[in-house]
Chain A
Amino acid sequence: MQNSTFLYFLTRLLFKQKSKHIGAVLISILIIFLLSAVLFISTSLQSTLMQTLKNQADFTVTRLKAGYPTQTPLEWIDKISELNGVSAVAPRVYGQYFFTPREKSFLIIGVDFFEEQNAQILKEIIGNLELKPFLSEDSMLVGEGVKIFLNAHYFKKYFTFKTPQGKFKKVHIHKMLAQESNLIANDMILMPLKLAQEILGMEEEEITDIAFNVPNDAEWDNIISKLHLMFYDVRVVEKREVQKAYENLYNYKGGLFLVLYLITIVTFMLILYQRYTMVYSTERKEIGILRAIGWSINDVLKLKFYENIVIVVVSFVLGVVLAYGYVFILDAPLLSQIFLGAANLENSVVFIPSIPFGLLGSIFLFYAVPFLAAVLIPAWKIAVTSPKEAML
């Protein structure tokens, strides 16, 4: 009732004076857009990675030689399977293959296509693969980056690997992996385990590492100590540590970015303060008139407060919506390269929308608090203008 007339008046006033605020709004939208886009990309990447990680095995065991990981003996699998509480023990074979002339590398992953995959992500990537035609000859599944790269080098239907032993192995390119998996699978090549061993120059009893699950998490510390007792030269990597490490990494990167962005925000605050303190005589006169006709200082402050809230909310919504479209619909051209750049092969990633509500709250606070704090004192200054002086 009282408020609706006030809001009506406020809207009319804002509308008629939009040129006054347009500068602040545009810069605000830009700032929020950049901030949101970066945070959206980072959060989306993080959540995709965490999803992947969730589906990975709880533990990975590698053999060490002089402190460095080396080929792991296949016989360890039996010993580990005997431990209580351990399930789904599986050998893994993978390694980097260098396409030497250009120094680009592929990640070769050997998969036993018949056994239960304890890495669900491989299940998703493999999907509905018709095993018979795939296994009838030496074939592989390649990620998008690999496919593009091979095409560019005229390897359209097959590629000839050179093994460390000097042999040549021609492998048929069966299918390209789904684009959605590009984040992880871009430079990946999946092939049968034995083929991978050949190409990476490993013996039959050698594998890269062993992965297994331990469903009861109370047992985890136990298992780790048992493993160390069993083998002297073992490295055990737990999934929860990897998760924490990723969490930390994203936290760290995200935080670093925010700290740098602080400088932008503070500069913006100073500009705002300057701009709104430089009260143009027209605005002073208008406030003076309002005070003369019966508006109290509180009334004027209310007007200024709502004026600024409207600017904040409008800028925020527009900035966030634009960022959403840019990241999740256009897949963030340019910016995504900053995150994924220095990649081995050119990667074009599809970002999966995942925005925790708290993130929006953080962005809003990070922008709204400095904005309103910067215009508070100028707003007060103009509200206490003596009506007489203002109207002269």
Chain B
Amino acid sequence: MNEILLSQEVIVYLFSETLLYGLLFVAFLVTVGLIKQWNFDTFTSKQFTLENRSYLVTIILFFVFILKIILLPYFIYTIDNLSNIVPGAMCGAGVIQANVYGYPLLALKIIILFLATLWLTINRLDVKAKNYPYFKIKSWFFIVIFLFLSVEYLLDIRYFTQIDTRNPVTCCSIIFGQTGGSNGLPFHLDIPKLLILFYLFFLLQILTILTKRVLLSLVSSIGFAVVAYYAVVYFFGTYIYQLPTHQCPFCMLQDHYYYVGYLIWGLLLLGLFVTINHAMMQIFFKQNSTKYEKTALIRLSLFVLLCSLYVVVYYLKNGVFL
């Protein structure tokens, strides 16, 4: 455990997370005070102080959000580096599997980023209006996000302190691959069916965004997210690594693949965030925005394009598919 905790990246990462959590705790305390005493209709100087304090919560959450966006790839980079010390690990996939906390932690981080985007959007709406109509909603929402953040912080610590450097972990070829003869895909899908689903869902996404069918676009986003994950790991990834048996979501984040993994996962996540965010805003707050629609479309299209490009280029270079 010591070697993990004394690794430079882990120290920087945990130190940053601790500082951010400290700030968030301050924001939490302020929010609790705000919920108790907020009354927009009074003219007291107390109320004006409360309005000023709400700015503190906003600025803290904004700062933390920006840093969490930076810390997510840094977290991946940290685990990737740890693969040098953890026996058996050749990339981040092995390290994140080192204990039960790894995957939940990663998933939680992504969820938190999404919730934070949602909060910031609601906050913008609230401040734009002249009487803070969503104040209570957004404050309670922040409390919920804070709970998630607390769990994340605990998981951070548990995860890094529980990585065993004596027992070897399994490498991605066994986790994801078919070396054991197992098929990693769900619902007994095979690659061709998966690809059809992938492109179909993508088309569905475009249609639902363009025709402004909000609820449908929300559902298709989730579907697309799941299908895209499997498609990238089990199909497109193999073209990035140019090896049909190398199926891994993490290796493409390394430098010998030109860090393309960050681009691929980044575009997918961003596109999905914007779509779901936009859908939520429409459903709950009746806010429409063509800008969001455009951004979502561009990002998702770029994602699909990039993935498909690897296949096409490979075929053009070698004349066959893998």
* A adjacent to B, CB under 8 Å: yes
CA–CA, A382 to B3, complex, Å?
A: 43
Given the known interface contacts A258-B12, A358-B9, the answer about A373 and B23 at a Cβ–Cβ threshold of 8 Å is yes
Contacting residue for A297 out of B5, B16, B52, B84, CB 8 A: B52
Residue contact A369 to B19, C-beta cutoff 8 Å: yes
> Chain A, interface size: which category?
20 to 34
Residue contact B19 to A373, C-beta cutoff 8 Å: yes
- Which residues of chain A (337-377) have a CB below 8 Å from chain B? 358-359, 361-362, 365-366, 369-370, 372-373, 376-377
Given the known interface contacts A373-B20, A373-B23, the answer about A255 and B52 at a Cβ–Cβ threshold of 8 Å is no
Residue contact B77 to A256, C-beta cutoff 8 Å: no
Residue contact A362 to B12, C-beta cutoff 8 Å: yes
Contacting residue for A255 out of B7, B26, B56, B81, CB 8 A: B7
Q: Is A113 an interface residue (CB 8 A)?
A: no
Q: What are 25 A-B interface contacts by the 8 Å CB criterion?
A: A244-B85, A244-B87, A251-B3, A252-B3, A254-B6, A254-B8, A255-B6, A255-B10, A255-B11, A256-B6, A259-B11, A301-B59, A358-B77, A361-B74, A365-B12, A365-B13, A365-B70, A366-B12, A366-B15, A369-B67, A370-B15, A376-B59, A376-B63, A377-B56, A380-B55
Residue contact B7 to A365, C-beta cutoff 8 Å: no
Q: What is the minimal beta-carbon distance from A156 to any residue of chain B, in angstroms?
A: 46
Number of interface residues of B (CB under 8 A): 33
Given the known interface contacts A301-B55, A377-B56, A380-B55, the answer about A251 and B8 at a Cβ–Cβ threshold of 8 Å is yes
Secondary structure of the A contact surface, majority rule:
helix
Task: Please indicate the chain B residues that have their CB under 8 angstroms from the CB of A370 in the complex.
Answer: 15, 19
Residue contact B6 to A365, C-beta cutoff 8 Å: no
Q: Is A247 an interface residue (CB 8 A)?
A: yes
Residue contact A376 to B23, C-beta cutoff 8 Å: yes
Task: Please indicate the chain B residues that have their CB under 8 angstroms from the CB of A366 in the complex.
Answer: 12, 15-16
Task: Please indicate the chain A residues that have their CB under 8 angstroms from the CB of B9 in the complex.
Answer: 358, 362
Residue of A nearest to B11 (CB): A258
Residue contact B56 to A380, C-beta cutoff 8 Å: yes
Q: B: which residues have CB within 8 A of A?
A: 2-3, 5-13, 15-16, 19-20, 22-23, 26, 52, 55-56, 59-60, 63, 67, 70-71, 74, 77, 81, 84-85, 87
Q: What is the minimal beta-carbon distance from A324 to any residue of chain B, in angstroms?
A: 18
Q: A: which residues have CB within 8 A of B?
A: 39, 244, 247-248, 251-252, 254-256, 258-259, 262, 265, 297-298, 301, 358-359, 361-362, 365-366, 369-370, 372-373, 376-377, 379-380, 383-384
Residue contact A248 to B15, C-beta cutoff 8 Å: no
Q: What is the minimal beta-carbon distance from B84 to any residue of chain A, in angstroms?
A: 5
Task: Please indicate the chain B residues that have their CB under 8 angstroms from the CB of A39 in the complex.
Answer: 8
CA–CA, A247 to B7, complex, Å?
A: 10
Task: Please indicate the chain A residues that have their CB under 8 angstroms from the CB of B26 in the complex.
Answer: 377
CA–CA, A258 to B6, complex, Å?
A: 8
Residue contact A369 to B16, C-beta cutoff 8 Å: yes
CA–CA, A255 to B9, complex, Å?
A: 9
Contacting residue for B85 out of A247, A358, A359, CB 8 A: A247
Task: Please indicate the chain A residues that have their CB under 8 angstroms from the CB of B12 in the complex.
Answer: 258, 362, 365-366
Ranked 6 nearest A-B pairs via Cβ? A255-B6, A384-B52, A369-B16, A258-B11, A373-B19, A366-B12
